[in-house]
Structures are given as C-alpha cells and as structure tokens.
Structure 1
Amino acid sequence: MQATDSTPPQPSGSRGHKGYWRAATYFCLLLLAVGATAGVSMYEQFVAQIHDLQQKVQQTAQLQYVAVLMDDKGEPAMLVTQEFGQPYLQLQRLNSVVEGQEDSMQLWALPASGTAQSLGVLPPKLKTLRLPATASALDAVSKLGMSVEARGGVTQAQGPRLPYLLTGSVIRKAL
C-alpha cells in the first residue's frame, strides 16, 4: 500500500486572491504617499510664490499723488508724482519747452483757498528731477501751477508771475 497524503487539496484560486489584494493595498498606499508628498510640495511652492510676490509689491513704487500739468494749448507738458511717504516730488518734462537764459521755472501748490505755496525751482534743461518736499506737501492742494520767474525763482512773499505757464489738477490715488 502506498502512503497517501491526508491533507485535503486547497483550491488554487483562494491563495492567488489574497496575494492580489495585498499587492493592490500596497500599491494604493504607495499612491497615497506619493500624492501626499506632491500635495505638500505644491503647498510649499505656493507659499514661496506668495512670499515672493509680497516682497515685489513692497518694493514697487506706490504713487500717492499724480498731476499732469498742461500748457496753454491743452497739451501735457509736465508730469508730477509723489510716492507714498516719500519726501520728494518726481517731475518729468513731457514737451520740449525750456526756460530762457535769464529765466527759471518754479512749481507752485495752489490750494483751493489761500495763497500759492512754492514747491521749488526747477534746474534748467533737465528732463526728470526730484524736488525735495514733505510727504504731506500735496495733502491740501487741489492744483499745481508752473510759472516762469527770474533766474533762481522768487520768494514766497513775492508770489508767482501770472498767468501760469502750466497748470494741472492734483489727483490723490487710492491705495
């Protein structure tokens, strides 16, 4: 007589299914780990981009006041700007008008009520320049005017020579 195996035969399909489910579980866990890592990485990149953009915004000039002074023909002749909190006015000539040998151009603040206040004398023939001014120099000003005066400008007591060569409204930019 021959010895027979007393263990009953196992169905071949049940063992294969256990291995399949185990492999599928490991694969899903691997996908979750990769997804979580990618999500964290994308979040970190997003935070870094926001930080970079915030720094760029802080470094970008923020204009507080803008005025375009027009000539007698209604053409833009001078751009006057003041950045928020800066102690100067930035001027840029927009036309080719220059003062004569014995003349100076002087910028005046023209408040809605009261007398004109001198903001400074422009050096001759410069296209762009900065005039020292307080950070609040244009707070109560509704218009600016440019007069032609004797070389070196005139004192506050003398006042501007009229009519103004250039005039324009001051616009306070909403920040």
Structure 2
Amino acid sequence: MNLTRYPQLIDRLAAEYVLGTLRGGARRRFQQYADEDSAIRRAIDEWQRRLAPLAELAAPRMPPAAVWDAIERRLGLSAARNAARPRGVQETPARPSRGLLDNLAFWRGWAIGVTALAAIAVVVAVRALLPSTTTPATAPSVAQQPEAAVSHVAVLNDKDAHPVMLIAWDEAHSTMTLHPLGLVDLPPGRAMELWGIPASGHPMSLGMLPDNASGKVSAGQQKPENYAALAVSIEAPGGSPDHNAPSGPVVFSGKLLPVS
C-alpha cells in the first residue's frame, strides 16, 4: 500500500503510533513504512514534538500493591514460592528489593509515562472540540493546523495532586478556554482568581474565573510564554486587592506548557 497517497491517513496513524494506541501487526507495519518513507517519519516526529512536553503535566505517583501481585503472577513467582514453602508456614507477601523501592527516578518515570497518556488524550480531545474559524471538509494534518489554535495548556491540580481544571490558552485570539476535570468546591460568597507564575518575579493576576470553571475568559495583553505555571486562589468577589499577589489561599496549580 502506498501511504504517501493518503496524507491524512498518515497523520492519523502517526498520532496513534505516538500515543501508543496503534498496536500489534498494524504498529509493526506502520513502523516498516516509516523506515522506508521520510514523509511518515516526519509525521511521527511532528506528533512526538507536539506531545512530548505534556509528560511534564504528570505528578509522581506510587503504583498500587496490586501491580506487584500481577507481576508475580505473570512471572510465575507466586506458584514457585507456594511450592517451596513448608506446610503450615504462612506465606509472606513478596516485596521487591529495596534498591528498586528506593529508586525514585524509576517510580517517577513510571508515573509520568502512565499519567501523561491520560493527559495527552484529554488535550487532544480538547483540541478537537475547540471551535475554529472555518470548518474543513476533511481533518487537517499536523502541518495544516490553523494558526488560531491552542498554543499552551495547563492542567491544574489540587493539593492532593488530583486534576481539577484544564486551561487551553489560544495566544492568537488572546483567550483561555476552561474545562473542568474534577470537582471545584467553591465556598459560598467567594470567587476564583487566576494567576500567572513566572520563572522568577511576582505572580500576575490574569483575571477572575467563572464559578463552574468552564467557558472562555480573555487573556488581555498577557502572553503565555511569560509564565511557567498557572495557579488559582480563592478570593473575595472582585479578586485580590493586590494584582501582584493573592490575598486568599492558592488551591490549584499546574505547569503551563507549549503544545507545539
């Protein structure tokens, strides 16, 4: 099959390949095509470049104990241990070596890899749902995406690292689109204020947010590249009297990252 005749198909397969949803024989065949076709490799590279930064959205998480049980079952360690255990001796649950448990980099990488896939899927879905100035007859390829599109994205987490809100920043239109991802428990008579957190210097108020954390708000003259993270504080109606610092508690925060 000559895939170069179907650029939109190449684009979709490349997206699934990078996300990991293209599996089995289809993935192997697509990899073979990529080895022989520079256009397919460019499509894969473009999707990797776009999606790789979103891994930073993930917070480190410790996997559940059931993960070790599943590993033992698949490796046959549970059966071997039961056969070697003397009668009447209660089984002691196996534990991995301390070297692995103490390896924080291992767990951080595992958590980022798993959680980032969910974050990437959310962002890709949001990009598909956002309104555009024109409605193309066919889905555009990565290289054909319109300029007026999401340029930066942030997933704001609560103090327990649970995702609460996704903010998609459209720099071309100076707007931010809010998508609730969890429960926003706003106290009665209070309001949410959005803050841009630069790499150095004081925070900057980006305006008040709707109580339901959904819809569009104006970004004004603010530029997303000026900020490393976004945060939300709980304020009195009208916001903090100091536009350079929240007066109430900061309840949500997350890194602001480019998507292209």
Q: TM-score range by the shorter chain?
A: 0.5 to 0.7
Change (3 A) 1:167 1:82: same
User: How far apart, in 2, do the equivalents of 1:70 and 1:86 lie?
Assistant: 25
TM-score computed with the length of structure 2 as normaliser: 0.42
Deviations 1:108-147 (A, max 9, x none): 00001111111111122x2521110147521110011100
Counterpart in the other structure of 1:118: 205
The share of aligned pairs that are identical, in percent, is: 29
Matched residues, number = 127
Aligned counterpart for 1:68 among listed residues 129, 150, 155: 155
8 A Cα contact 1:86 1:135, kept in partner: no
**Contact preservation (8 Å) 2:153, 2:256:** yes
Shift of 1:58: 4.7
1:92-107 equivalence runs, <5 A: 92-107=179-194
Counterpart selection for 1:155 from 237, 241, 249: 241
| SS of residue in 1 equivalent to 2:151 | strand
Paired residue for 1:11?
none
2:153, 2:259 within 8 Å by CA — same for their partners in 1?
Answer: yes
Contact 1:66–1:80 (Cα < 8 Å) also in 2: yes
Call closer, same or farther: CA 1:58–1:98 in 2, change over 3 Å: same
Instruction: Please identify which structure carries the higher strand content.
Output: 1
Q: Structure 1 residue 83: deviation in Å?
A: 2.6
Q: What is aligned with 1:91?
A: 178
Deviation at 1:157, TM superposition (A): 4.1
**Match of residue 164, structure 2, among 77, 87, 106:** 77
8 Å CA contact 1:144–1:170 kept in 2: the answer is yes
Q: Which residue of 2 aligns with 1:130?
A: 216
SS in 2 for 1:77: strand
1:93: how far off?
1.5
Deviation by residue 1:78-116 (Cα, 9 ceiling, x = unmatched): 101113512111111211223122210100000011111
How far apart, in 2, do the equivalents of 1:59 and 1:158 lie? 34
User: How much has 1:153 moved relative to structure 2?
Assistant: 1.2
Note if contact 1:86-1:134 (Cα within 8 Å) is conserved in structure 2: no
- In structure 1, the partner of 2:250 is 164
Q: 1:138 to 1:115 in 2, by over 3 A?
A: same
Aligned counterparts of 2:163 and 2:173: Cα–Cα separation in 1: 24
* SS of 1:114 mapped into structure 2: coil
- CA RMSD in angstroms comes to 3.1
Unaligned 5+ segments in structure 1 are: 1-45
Amino acid paired to 1:94 = L
User: Distance in 2 between the 1:155 and 1:98 partners?
Assistant: 23
Structure 1 62/148 Cα, relative in aligned 2: closer, same or farther at 3 Å?
same
Deviation at 1:59, TM superposition (A): 5.7
**Residue segments in structure 2 that go unaligned for 5+ positions in a row:** 9-135
State the shift of 1:161 in Å: 3.0
Give the Cα separation in 2 of the matches to 1:106 and 1:132: 13
Query: Quick one: structure 1 residues 117 and 127, their matched pair in 2 at CA, closer, same or farther if it must change by over 3 Å?
Result: closer
